[in-house]
Amino acid sequence: MSSFKKNIIVFGQLTDIIGAAEINFPAVGDTDALKNQLIAKYPQLAELSFVIAVDKKIAAGNTPLQLDSGIALLPPFSGG
Amino acid sequence: MSSFKKNIIVFGQLTDIIGAAEINFPAVGDTDALKNQLIAKYPQLAELSFVIAVDKKIAAGNTPLQLDSGIALLPPFSGG
Amino acid sequence: MEPRKPKNIFVKGAVSASFIAESIQKHSSRHDIGGHSIFLGQVRADKVEGKTVSAIDYTTYEEMALEKMHEIREAIFAKYELTCMHVYHSLGKVAAGEICLFVFTSSAHRKPAIAACSELVERIKAELPVWGKEVFDNETYQWKENK
Amino acid sequence: MEPRKPKNIFVKGAVSASFIAESIQKHSSRHDIGGHSIFLGQVRADKVEGKTVSAIDYTTYEEMALEKMHEIREAIFAKYELTCMHVYHSLGKVAAGEICLFVFTSSAHRKPAIAACSELVERIKAELPVWGKEVFDNETYQWKENK
């Protein structure tokens, strides 16, 4: 059912690994579960350091996800 | 005799006290003697912190003066 | 008092020298300013395995970056006695030799301006979700890493 | 190797924003530069006992200042990995709101550029025989003191 899928936005070199700037991914309960399932689907992610932003804040530790949470995958920043 | 007088150049607020940007002053043997004689002639100098430059270097401690030394009186710097 | 609204810091392409000059010029009417500190990031033509970086292509998570920049701005204003603070970061392609980051702080005295500018640059590089893709002269690329 | 010759740092009157822009622009051909740090001193319209500073009139002991600046320049180049260093200081009258000091350092990486610029500003203020006379709006004046 589509209501159990979530849009996840993807940035930087993660777009090369995932092959898109946005993916539709099965909803899970927290950021640790999300990370595990992402790595299961995209094994190259395991080799890269990345963080999950929930509603524009970097998840510090395992963070519960709501159905309406805005989720983004952020590789190390390299601005400036 | 004029050969025993030296030109001394004067900067900043010292020009207000001395009334000129350059003075002709009796030659003396070292910077301590010069300072004493300057203060004797211009008592207001005693109230102001200033240094003597000899050949474009600030005299650190009492410094002997040659007849051909270039002498300048420098009040605290305030550039920038 | 209403909270300050997040300001947009992103500009398309390089920051031009004339834009920097205009920013400086605007501050000549502020007679309480004694010192400005400016940092400019410039794209280097680094060589990697025989290839040369010809440009960096910047992308961002804009909404998050602007929220974070707002937070940094408030913290810097709270910490230092500043009269003004301006930050501009490029998005899209910036060629080698061009300016991609312009950080500008002003204060009555030099020390707060200098310290704030330096801290801003560090925080921008560490905390803003911005990514640089180093594009080589042969059209391949690698993702930039900040040190 | 011949030693570097002392460069003149003094300019008559204020440093203009367009001069700063040209200096920045010139560095776009240097593809080994990753960061520029700039400090600008601006004349403040300070109020003293009801009078307002309208300008600062700068004088120097030029030969000594250029020798000292040369010594500072050599020391900073020896201490930091810089690609370029430029210093301009005004002489004569600079009105409130105008720029009287322009210090500009560039490096492959931000940290040497920022640290060198900051140290240069401190040394210039402390060690260069330059004096500022703060001219008030009623034509009286007082001698500037650096803190």
C-D contacts (CB, under 8 Å): 113
Residue D128 pLDDT exceeds 50: yes
DSSP C57-121: EEEE-HHHHHHHHHHHHHHHHHHS--SEEEEEEEEEEEETTSEEEEEEEEESSHHHHHHHHHHHH
Q: Domain for residue D1, yes or no? A: no
Percent of chain C exceeding pLDDT 70 equals 97
* pLDDT at residue B2 tops 50: no
CATH number at residue C128: 3.90.1170.40
Quote the domain boundaries for residue C89. 12-138
- Residue A4 pLDDT: 73
Cβ D39–C44 below 8 Å, yes or no?
no
For residues A13 and A72, what is the distance between their CA atoms, to the nearest angstrom? 13
Which H or E run includes D72? helix D62-79
- Identify the pLDDT of residue D146: 85
Compute the distance between CA of residue A16 and CA of residue A11 in angstroms, rounded to an integer: 9
CA-CA distance, B34 to B63, in Å (whole number)?
Answer: 10
pLDDT of B4 over the 80 cut: no
Domain contains D125: yes
Asked if C35's CB is within 8 angstroms of D25's CB, the reply is no
Tell whether the model's pLDDT for residue A70 goes beyond 80. Answer: yes
B73 inside 8 A of chain D by CB: no
pLDDT in tens, C65-104: 999 999 999 999 999 999 999 999 999 999 999 999 999 9
Q: Is residue C96 part of a domain?
A: yes
- Say whether pLDDT at A67 is over 90: no
Residue type, position D75, single letter = A
What mean pLDDT do residues D93-115 have? 98
Write out the H or E segment, with its range, that includes residue C21: helix C17-26
* Strands C141-143 vs D35-42: parallel, antiparallel or unpaired: unpaired
Average pLDDT estimate for C36-50: 96
Distances (CA, A) of C59 to A77, B72, C128, C134: 10, 59, 11, 12
Q: What percent of chain C has pLDDT over 90?
A: 92
Q: To the nearest whole number, what is the mean pLDDT of chain D?
A: 96
Does the beta carbon of A2 lie under 8 angstroms from any beta carbon of chain C?
A: no
Q: What is the pLDDT of residue C147?
A: 76
**Positive or negative CA dihedral for C23, C72, A77, A25?**
negative
Instruction: Please determine, for residue B33, whether its predicted confidence score (pLDDT) is greater than 90.
Output: yes
Report CB contact under 8 Å: C110, D37: no
- Top pLDDT among B6 and D73 is at D73
Average pLDDT (A13-25) is 96
Chain D residues with CB-CB distance to B13 below 8 A:
131, 143
What is the β-pairing status of strands C99-107 and C84-95?
Answer: antiparallel
Question: Does C146 reach chain D within 8 Å, measured CB to CB?
Answer: no
Is residue B16 within 8 Å of residue B73, measured between CB atoms? no
Q: Does C70 touch chain A (CB under 8 A)?
A: no
User: What letter does residue C31 receive in the DSSP assignment?
Assistant: T
Residue D25: what residue type? Q
Average pLDDT over residues B28-48: 96
Of B11, B13, B16, the CB nearest to D129: B11
Residue D144 belongs to a domain: no
Instruction: Provide the domain count of chain D.
Output: 1
Taking residues A11-34, what's their average pLDDT? 96
B49 reaches D (C-beta below 8 A): no
Residue B51 has pLDDT above 60, yes or no: yes
* Whether the predicted pLDDT of B3 surpasses 70: no
Check whether B24 has a pLDDT greater than 60. yes
Express each pLDDT in A54-66 by its tens digit: 999 999 999 999 9
pLDDT for the residue D4: 64
Q: Dihedral angle at the C-alpha atoms of A3, A5, A8, A13, nearest 10 degrees?
A: -160
Backbone φ and ψ of A69, nearest 5°: -65, 140
Q: What percent of chain A shows pLDDT beyond 70? A: 96
On the question of pLDDT at A2 being above 50, the answer is no
Residues of D in contact with C43 (CB under 8 A): 34
For residue D110, which phi and psi values (nearest 5 degrees)?
Answer: -65, -40
- Is A78 in Cβ contact with C144 (below 8 Å)? yes
Q: Is C143 among the domain residues?
A: no
At residue A69, the pLDDT reads 93
**Within a domain: C34:** yes
C121 contacts A77? CB cut-off 8 A: no
Q: In this complex, is the C-beta atom of C126 within 8 Å of any C-beta atom belonging to chain A?
A: yes
Confidence band (pLDDT; 50, 70, 90) for A1? very low
Whether residue D111 lies inside any domain: the answer is yes
Residues of chain D above pLDDT 90, percent:
92
The 10s digit of each residue's pLDDT in C24-34 is 999 999 999 99
Q: Do A and B touch (≥3 CB pairs < 8 Å)?
A: no
**Structural domain contains residue D6:** no
| Cross-chain residue pair D129–B77, CB shorter than 8 Å | yes
How far does C87 lie from chain D, in Å, by closest CA? 14
At C1, the pLDDT band (50, 70, 90 cuts) reads low
Q: Does A78 have pLDDT greater than 80?
A: yes
Residue D2 — very low, low, confident or very high, per pLDDT cuts 50/70/90? Answer: low
Per-residue confidence (pLDDT) for residue B1, from 0 to 100: 38
CA of A5 vs chain C CAs: smallest distance (Å): 21
Q: Which residue from D63, D133, D145 is facing B76, i.e. has the nearest CB?
A: D145
Q: Is this model's pTM higher than 0.80 or not?
A: yes
Is C97's CB within 8 Å of D25's CB? no
Q: Inspect the interface and report whether the beta carbons of A77 and C146 lie closer than 8 Å.
A: yes
Chains interfacing with B (3 or more CB pairs < 8 Å): D
Q: Does B79 touch chain D (CB under 8 A)?
A: yes
pLDDT grade, residue C3 (50/70/90)? low
Pairwise CB contact (< 8 Å): C28 & D98:
yes
For residue B14, give the chain D residue with the closest CA. Answer: D143
Find the mean pLDDT for residues B34-63: 96
